[in-house]
Amino acid sequence: MRYAGIILLMVFVFHGAAAQDKTIRVDTQPSWPPGSFVPVRIEIVNHGINDFARFYQDLPQGFTVKRGNTAGADFYWDNNQVNFVWVNMPDKKIIRISYLAKADESLTGSFRLGGKLDYIIEGDKRGSAEFGPVVIHLDKKATVEEDIDQFIEEETAPENIIPADNVYKKDITEKIVFRVQVAISSEHITKAELESRIGCPLKYNVTILRAGNMYKYQSGAFKKYSEANIYLGDMKNRGVNDAFIVAYRGEEQISIELARTLEK
């Protein structure tokens, strides 16, 4: 059941190529009860993005987030930021993603919910869409206006997640490795050129992976998520704000969620 109360419907125009063809819509209830998970749904109308894209939103301190529908993106929640990252945006007119957010019971007042989509089209043209912010009220008298069990059933089917039971049926001796992806480019460049572009030196070796006509640049090879997260924090402190953690089982990229269940 969708919300019985007021829904926030926010439509925003993209900046960049084919700007008139792209919009974003976010649905959530305007008042959130602290201590309870509330659904947030995002729709991206896609006319031409089929390369890298990243949608992200910042939430205040004291929030907890769970993944919903990822539409094939790698989802992660880190440093109070919700991220959906696609190496290749799905070839669909409308991309639907979602998550659950919960404010700590001690929180009161209001906060601003904004967000941004960065993307690449035609191999090397960059664009972005930024929307909001809108005000969300934290109200202890509010109620969650949607059946959360139904939301989980409808929204959390593992589109890009490899089920754990299937993984264990494979060769479980393959190592789980976490890396920090620091850039994506249509060009094959050296480590020195990469460091020049991102504006800081990289402490670890760089792994370069090709995905279609794009190159992914990943630094480090960590056995533990916690180690990769420390390095990610260092990169962001140095100004590499688009960096994020990726995980591999052997040569196969898997979700962060699954990798963390398999790390030893």
Query: In this model, does residue 153 exceed pLDDT 90?
Result: no
Asked whether 92 and 120 are in contact (CB, 8 A), the reply is: no
User: How far, in Å, are 10, 93, 167, 208 from residue 188 at the CA level?
Assistant: 38, 30, 32, 8
What pLDDT sits at residue 29? 93
**149 plus 195 within the same structural domain:** no
> For residue 153, what are its two tokens?
């059933």
Structural domain range at position 207: 164-262
How many domains is the chain partitioned into structurally?
Answer: 2
pLDDT of residue 212: 65
**pLDDT tens column, 111-138:** 998 888 888 876 667 788 877 788 999 9
Residue 149's pLDDT is what?
Answer: 87
pLDDT at 13 over 60: no
Q: Which of 108, 110, 128 is nearest to 118 (CA)?
A: 128
Give per-residue pLDDT as tens, 227-263.
Answer: 999 999 999 999 998 888 888 888 888 878 788 888 7
- pLDDT of 10 over the 60 cut: no
235: domain CATH number? 3.30.70.1070
Going by C-alpha positions, the residue among 49, 24, 12, 72 that lies closest to residue 126 is 49
Overall average pLDDT of the 29-57 stretch: 89
Instruction: Please enumerate, as own/partner, the contacts of 207-211 that have beta carbons within 8 Å and a separation of 24 or more.
Output: 207/179, 211/87, 211/88
Residues 142 and 183 in one domain: no
Res 37 pLDDT > 90: yes
Answer with the residue of higher pLDDT: 163 or 203: 203
What's the pLDDT at 108? Answer: 92
User: Of 1-15, 25-39, 157-171, which has the strongest mean pLDDT?
Assistant: 25-39
Query: What's the pLDDT band for 20 if we cut at 50, 70, 90?
Result: very low
Which residue's entry shows tokens 């059946």? 147
Per-residue pLDDT tens over the stretch 84-115: 888 788 888 899 999 999 999 999 999 998 88
Average pLDDT over residues 63-80: 85
Kindly state whether residue 234 falls inside one of the protein's structural domains: yes
Q: Are residues 122 and 195 in the same domain?
A: no
CA–CA separation, 55 vs 134, rounded Å? Answer: 17
Q: What mean pLDDT is reported for the chain?
A: 80
Whether residue 2 lies inside any domain: the answer is no
State pTM to two decimals. Answer: 0.62
CB 53 within 8 A of CB 40: no
State both tokens at 203: 């402490």
Answer yes or no: do 132 and 97 share one domain: yes
125 and 191 in a single domain? The answer is no
Residues 6+ apart with CB under 8 A from 25: 9, 10, 11, 42, 43, 45
Q: Is the domain of 66 the same as that of 128? A: yes
Judge if 146 and 179 occupy the same domain. Answer: no
Report whether pLDDT(166) > 60.
Answer: no
